[in-house]
Structure 1
């Protein structure tokens, strides 16, 4: 990367990343992905033009250059979804850079991303979600660890939390009231109701936990007392779903999907569900309407007299 960029262009890239971090509340994972995607674009342009990419060369990128970049990604085996993500990062960088440097970014911004079919969430049935929680608890010989794992998965399903949000809770969050204040992606804060079954699951775990829970300590502790690693929850749910004969899509994140889909099936308002999930855009939440429509059609075809 140091050979592909002049110091001025390198400073510009860092400036854009700082801007995304500060003003757009981008997470560190997002910043890392942005950096890698734009670096890949710049490395390609360096190879394509056989010269380091300073501010002036970057401002001269043409439509054929963009087509060559997309062809390069395709030839390298990048999936359409990945290509679209990389192009989105490059466009974001160019919007910021063109405003800063005063050049016309049309060639970059008009580049078209390949079409791809968005993957719809794959929720569990209500019975399967309950069975997953019960089976997760039986995966450990240590009673407190089984209770801990069940409590985490119950929060994913009962409150619609991301696994990172559940494991980010501290002793200061306990005892739970009627609701929890959650700091989600991009530092976005939201309030989620806590149903009694979720509260009881955490209470049961805490009664058995051998470690002291202080206001500054993680609420969910690992076997040695440190913060619980998300990979352990992923592993225990994998074991549980294999025992239950559930598909590979039955992951911890599927419990959050199930929370949203079951609320929608029960007549929940889409915008309310958006708030509960912490989605920045309603379009993200609208994917659940497609899932629910698929379920409704299956019910219709199986039960309506004229459909059989």
Structure 2
């Protein structure tokens, strides 16, 4: 079992992740599980409860044993890298607090894995997706609803959870929406006239009254619309259009970023619109190549003129 001192240290670290770094609850839960599993393994591996003193004595060999034990059919390189990242973050904090050298843990390398780049839709494909979705439902108001949701994903770069999290009080949509994204990070997103009009069309057709505290987008029976329903609608549409399985709701957000960049948008500004903490994440979203980045750089850098 994990020693009381180690358990208390983990709880304190998690509290700091919430308070100082704004970590989302899902992130905190993942951290707790990953680090607790690590501490439990070390207790078993060394056949003794891992107090704070023992934690300072962990070796590279111990780390290799943990990784060998953790890797398996259900834990691939990406998941292993995430677990190691959580353990390193905890150890970096613990070493600073307790005054020991964490080199053995921090020098452990994560397994290599190939990042899967998002696949944005072409402009014509994104338009065709929205047009096809509009024709699918037997209920005109549901068709208008689905068009409005996809237009927000593509036209404003919202995550599906952000679009479906809008409330009745958010309508009619303003010129700019204040969105709270991952980790509680706020951003301001301009609303295109087409997105505003699509939402208005939906509200006029919706049989349920708009209520300030109720979800803006309603399911057929009046409850909150879930992401699965939108995924299913897009799945049917992409089969009709012959689009790949990667044409998902999230791909509409990828497309927002790529199409803005293709039209001459600034990568840093697009980062702000998407709510990314890292510019490299935005670069992955837009699937831009080095040549495109150099083109933007050469056009925008003061020395380029």
Q: TM-score, normalised by structure 1?
A: 0.89
Partner of 1:305 in structure 2?
none
Mean CA deviation greater in 43-52 or 84-93: 43-52
Q: Is the 8 A contact 2:255 2:286 kept in 1?
A: no
The separation in 1 between residues aligned to 2:285 and 2:28, in whole angstroms, is 28
Structure 2 residue matching 1:286: 3-state secondary structure: helix
Partner of 1:211 in structure 2?
208
Q: What is the 5 A alignment of 1:33-112? A: 33-76=30-73, 78-112=75-109
Mean CA deviation greater in 254-263 or 79-88: 79-88
Q: What is the 5 A alignment of 1:125-164? A: 125-164=122-161
> 1:121 pairs with 115, 118, 126, which one?
118
Structure 1 residue matching 2:80: 3-state secondary structure: helix
Q: Is the 8 A contact 1:121 1:291 kept in 2?
A: no
Q: Is the 8 A contact 2:119 2:287 kept in 1?
A: no
Q: Please give the per-residue CA displacement for 1:243-279, whole angstroms capped at 9, x wherever unaligned.
A: 2111111110000001101111111110011011111
Mean CA deviation greater in 80-89 or 32-41: 32-41
Q: Is the 8 A contact 1:120 1:291 kept in 2?
A: no
Corresponding position: 1:29 with 2:26: yes
Structure 1 residue matching 2:71: 3-state secondary structure: helix
Give unmatched runs, 5+ long, in structure 1.
297-308
- Aligned residue-pair number: 293
Q: Is the 8 A contact 2:257 2:286 kept in 1?
A: no
Q: Please give the per-residue CA displacement for 1:223-248, whole angstroms capped at 9, x wherever unaligned.
A: 22222111111121112112211111
- State the Cα distance separating 1:7 from its structure 2 match: 2.1
- State the Cα distance separating 1:8 from its structure 2 match: 2.1
- State the Cα distance separating 1:280 from its structure 2 match: 0.7
> 2:260 pairs with 259, 263, 266, which one?
263
Mean CA deviation greater in 70-79 or 45-54: 70-79
